[in-house]
Structure 1
Amino acid sequence: MSPGKTNSRLVAWEPTGDGKRVISLADNHLLLWDLQESSSQAVLAGSASLEGRGQLKFTSGRWSPHHSCTQVATASDTAIRGWDTRTMSQVYCIENAHGQLVRDVDFNPNKQYYLASCGDDCKVKFWDTRSPAAPVRTLEEHSHWVWSVRYNHSHDQLVLTGSSDSRVTLSNMVSISSEPFGHLVDDDDLSDQEERRPEEKSQEPPQDGVIATYEEHEDSVYAVEWSSADPWLFASLSYDGRLVINRVPRALKYHILL
């Protein structure tokens, strides 16, 4: 195998640690690189390849921030695979995760086994990799291919998606988040003076689903990303080169915080 002669699809730094490891996806190869301080060239530390009929190629991948950064998830055709970077062997496989090509994957930053995916079947799916037989939740709010999915780094109930329908959606997946409604403050934690009013006790929990749709783009939205400095700020990029910056609605922000 000659990695230099393949078509690179993705390069990703190790999420935590000393920053000396990088993964790259090139055609049907998953490559692990070790960046030596004393050298100007990375050393290939490990590799794995897709095997099967046809010319299988990786479409996307993410390095998990969990499991001591020893796992990577990749998408290829309609499947999602998990890999152990210590042995470069497959640890799980979600066959037919989507009815058509899987475009993107992202890990929940706070729940180590939870993964989101999107694809050409216009769906966004949420998985527990310990039980990959079926998704735990599915969103069907886009009318064309979904290219990008991203969890909010600080509040994992907030999920962004971008699609070829020229729309960006912001979803509230509170039921499968690390901060489900009603678990932040329990009645037992309240003093007599702080006892909840009747209307607060009967408050209905928020439902999973899209809470905002952004239609500033006039072409396919290929990428969405949360700000690393402001958890309420996000960007989207479309095929025509338009970059749009938006904020989480103020009412939702205060509902999450308060």
Structure 2
Amino acid sequence: MDLDEAPIIHGLELPSRCICAQSAETNITRFLVGTQSLRQENQIHYIEFDDENNVIDKTVFSHPFGEIWHLSANYNDSQLFTSCYQSYDDAKLSLSCIVGRLSLDENMKPNLTIPDGSNTNAAAKLEKILSIEVEDNATKLMAHWKPIEGENDLMVLSNTKMNLYDVERSSAALSSSYDLPLRKGHLCPITNGRWNPHHSGKVFAVATEQSVLGWDVRSNQKAFFIENAHGQLVRDIDFNPNKMYYVVTCGDDCQVRFWDTRNFEEPVQVLVDDHSHWVWSARFNPFHDQLVLSGGSDSKVILYNMKAISSEPYDQEVSSDGEYSDSSKSDDDEYVAEKSEMKDGVIGVYEEHEDSVYALEWSAADPWTFASLSYDGRFIINRVPKTVKYGILL
């Protein structure tokens, strides 16, 4: 294996379940990783990846509030994030959500303080800015920042509720709310959600039981509904960043499915037999949407090439001046051969994990870098193979 493609493995001391890319940082690859322990003090690991030297630099922020179930980084402020966590107080488990700030300098490096008269290690500061109100009986809680420049809208998902907040410096005002309707007389809890980055982010979609529902936050009405998107529970959903109306879903039926929300009677494509257990996460590459990741309870991370349904068709390539050309007419026979070898399907299966892979994310700064996290605290950075990278770029 090329050393540039060797995985970078970082082990956390505590069980872990959630990661997020530092979305507002577009120059350097950074991730936030949250731990999940009821007995020990939890942490947020601030991880920076140096792709030139193939090393990572980590800083640990103390998270004394509880075990972290979900993290989301703000798209406009590199220091701002949300943490949804569970705590145990007065013999009762409860879920809470905070907006926090990492203490970072102008170079996005952590500000460290050393206790007076102490030889202990320097500690990184985490500031709690405000708390988001959460219903008392919440059993599931997530928060997602709107991926639109200049906007600080925050969608908070709790049980069957979707609450949209306008977050300012030290306050959060509830803008609108939507409660999922009963289906066949029973509640349909939300398992996950995602903003649609198109149309100024006016649609937010949630996975609920076996279906997917899109909510128009402006009209406060249903935008689309994919009934029985999977044969079992839908675990995750993601929107194609470059091709409107296209989404990917995954679930407990071990499948990854692609949909067109304008015509959702049948999926556009279904990936079967690649995972042998529940698929917890699926992600489009934010730059090259033909690259798709999935991760599941079978401890696998799978990288797919899905060019046939991507924003760039097979028979056309975009030149540097934005004009389309027929790649089959290239004078570089070796280039044409390399292109022809890039078939749709599995590019690679990454099996460095030994426990369920609950989360994975692409870098917000580098199109070829992605991270995955398993419950045993193993955080791994991998990169798209060079042959695939150059096959897309050249």
Q: TM-score, normalised by structure 1?
A: 0.91
Larger Cα Rg: Structure 1 or Structure 2? 2
**1:24-63 Cα shifts (integer Å, max 9, x gaps):** 10000011111234xx221111011111222311000001
For 1:166, the equivalent position in structure 2 comes to 299
Q: Are the aligned partners of 1:181 and 1:205 in contact in 2 as well (CA < 8 Å)? A: no
CA contact (8 A) 2:304 2:347 kept: yes
The answer to whether structure 1 residue 177 and structure 2 residue 316 are counterparts is: no
Q: How does 1:64-143 map to 2 (within 5 A)?
A: 64-140=196-272, 141-143=274-276
- Matched-pair contact (CA < 8 Å) for 1:8–1:24: no
Alignment partner, residue 325 of structure 2: 186
Q: Does 1:256 align with 2:388?
A: no
Q: Counterpart of 1:43?
A: 173
Structure 2 CA distance, aligned partners of 1:188 and 1:245? Answer: 32
Show the counterpart of 2:288: 155
5+ residue gaps, structure 1, are: none
**DSSP-derived class of the 2:168 partner:** coil
* Structure 1 moving runs of 4+ over 6 Å: none
Alpha-carbon distance between aligned partners in 2 of 1:152 and 1:188, rounded to the nearest angstrom: 23
Q: Secondary structure at the match of 2:312?
A: coil
Q: CA deviation at 1:93?
A: 0.3
Larger strand share, 1 or 2: 2
Query: Is 1:233 matched up with 2:366?
Result: no
- Contact 1:181–1:206 (8 Å) recurs in 2: no
Alignment partners' CA distance in 2, 1:256 and 1:249: 11
Select the residue among 24, 34, 59 that pairs with 2:191: 59
Q: Which runs of 5+ in 2 are unaligned?
A: 1-132, 318-323
- Percent identity over the alignment is 50
1:178 partner SS: coil
CA distance in structure 1 between the partners assigned to 2:333 and 2:387 by the alignment: 21
Residue identity matched to 1:250: K
Conserved 8 A contact 1:232-1:253 = yes
Partner AA of 2:303 in structure 1: L
Question: Which one of the candidate residues 206, 216, 223 is aligned to 2:359?
Answer: 223
Closer, same or farther: CA 178–239 of 1 in aligned 2, 3 Å: same
**CA-atom RMSD, angstroms?**
2.2
CA distance in 2, matches of 1:219, 1:201: 38
Normalised by the length of structure 2, the TM-score is: 0.61
Provide Cα deviations, 1:78-119, integer angstroms capped at 9, x if missing partner.
Answer: 000111011221111000000000000000000111000000
2:248 aligned partner, one-letter code: A
Alignment: residue pair count? 252
The alpha carbon displacement at 1:188 in A equals 9.6
Residues in 1 aligned to 2:348 and 2:194: alpha-carbon distance in whole angstroms: 26
| More contact order relative to length (CA 8 Å, sep ≥ 6) | 2
C-alpha distance in structure 2 between counterparts of 1:146 and 1:188, whole Å: 35
Distance in 2 between residues matched to 1:95 and 1:7, nearest whole Å: 23
Tell me how far apart the structure 2 counterparts of residues 79 and 239 of structure 1 sit (CA, whole Å): 26
- After TM superposition, give the deviation of residue 186 of structure 1 in Å: 2.3
What CA distance in whole angstroms lies between the structure 2 residues aligned with 1:97 and 1:218? 29
Q: Using a 3 Å threshold, how does the CA distance of structure 1 residues 175 and 119 change in structure 2: closer, same or farther?
A: same
> Which residue identity does 2:385 align to in structure 1?
P
Q: Which moved more, 1:138-147 or 1:8-17?
A: 8-17
